[in-house]
Every structure is written in structure tokens, then in C-alpha cells.
Amino acid sequence: MAKRASIYSVIVLIVVAGLFAGEYLLMSRRAQTECGFCRRHINPKAHVVAEVGGRRRNVCCAHCAVTEARQEKKPLRLIAVTDYSTGKMVSPDGAWFVEDSRVIACEHDMSKMDESKHAEQLEFDRCSPGTFAFSDRKAAEEFVAGNGGVLRSLPEVLAEAQQ
Ligand SMILES: [Zn+2]
């Protein structure tokens, strides 16, 4: 009897450990796909890794990190950015950024409904206009030619966080 009981407790232990492991995996995956500042789903083409006040997070786009740093009045560091053309993570040093283009970085509904069901444009959106990064200046210029927007260097983007 004692032996059977111990087998049961081992099985229970394994199941519980499995549940914990599963939850941990789910949590870490969520940290990769959910913005650490605004909780929105991260667009893989605009994904950046940023530090605001020394805390490192996965962020939906560079603009969201800039907004966070400005609101919190804390220093911003970009650790890695996604090259829009290739979808690969690159160093932000020497990268080019496009702001104010017609392409929306965050996948979410920009409008909200009021009581009379008229769609209203949100006056302020922390992620809008989205910022896209390019490791190649020419690719960034082509993007601007096709989608509008302004080309900015890394120091220019970081300066916006200090305003
Ligand atoms: Zn965000």
C-alpha cells in the first residue's frame, strides 16, 4: 500500500511540474509577442528591444519606447531593432528610422465607437505614428518614397524621448 501511494505521489508531482513548465513557456512566449509597455501584440516587423530607466523590455515599436521614456522622464536606450526589409534583429547603431509614414505599426483598431456608434479617431495613440527601422539607408528611402514619412537617425529618435 505504501509503495502504491508513493507511486501516486510521484505521478502527481510529475503532472504538477509539467503544468508549471507549460505555464513558464507560455509566459516567456507572451513576453516575446506582447509589448512590455502597452501590452499590444508586437508586430514582428517593428519589434524593438529597449531599456527605459534601465529596465529591458520587448516593445511593439520604437515609437512606443520613445513615448514611454518621455512620459516616465527616464533615459531611453535602444538595444536592438528589427530591420523592416529583412525582419532580422539588428543593432540600432547606424540604423535609419522612418516616422510619420502611412504604414501602421501596431495591429489594433485605431478608432473607437461613441454611444451613437459614430467611429471616432483616437486623439492620442502612444504607438502612432509607428516607427520602422532599416539597416540600409537606401531601403529606408525607398520605403519613404512609397509610403511617405520622415527619415531619422538614431540620435534624432533618441532626442525625441528627451522632449
Ligand atoms: Zn507598445
Q: Is the pLDDT of residue 25 over 50?
A: yes
pTM for the whole structure:
0.73
Q: How confident is the model at residue 112 (pLDDT cuts 50, 70, 90)?
A: very low
Q: How confident is the model at residue 106 (pLDDT cuts 50, 70, 90)?
A: low
How many Å lie between the centroid of ligand 1 and the Cα of residue 121?
Answer: 19
Task: Report residue 89: phi and psi, to 5°.
Answer: -75, 130
Q: Is the pLDDT of residue 78 over 90?
A: yes
How many Å lie between the centroid of ligand 1 and the Cα of residue 57?
Answer: 10
SS3 for 38-88, per residue?
CCCECCCCCCEEEEECCEEEEECCHHHHHHHHHHHCCCEEEEEEEECCCCC
Per-residue DSSP letters for 88-108?
-EE-STT-EEEES-S---S-S
How many Å lie between the centroid of ligand 1 and the Cα of residue 58?
Answer: 9
Residue 133 is classified by DSSP as E
How many Å lie between the centroid of ligand 1 and the Cα of residue 39?
Answer: 6
When the pLDDT of each residue in the chain is averaged and rounded to a whole number, the result is: 85
How many Å lie between the centroid of ligand 1 and the Cα of residue 25?
Answer: 22
For the chain, give the longest Cα–Cα distance: 77
119-143 residue pLDDT tens: 555 556 777 778 999 999 999 999 9
Mean pLDDT over 9-34 rounds to 77
How many Å lie between the centroid of ligand 1 and the Cα of residue 118?
Answer: 26
Give the containing element (helix H, strand E) for 27.
helix 2-33
- Residue identified by cell 454611444 is 115
26-54 residue pLDDT tens: 766 666 789 999 888 888 899 999 999 99
How many Å lie between the centroid of ligand 1 and the Cα of residue 110?
Answer: 14
How many Å lie between the centroid of ligand 1 and the Cα of residue 4?
Answer: 52
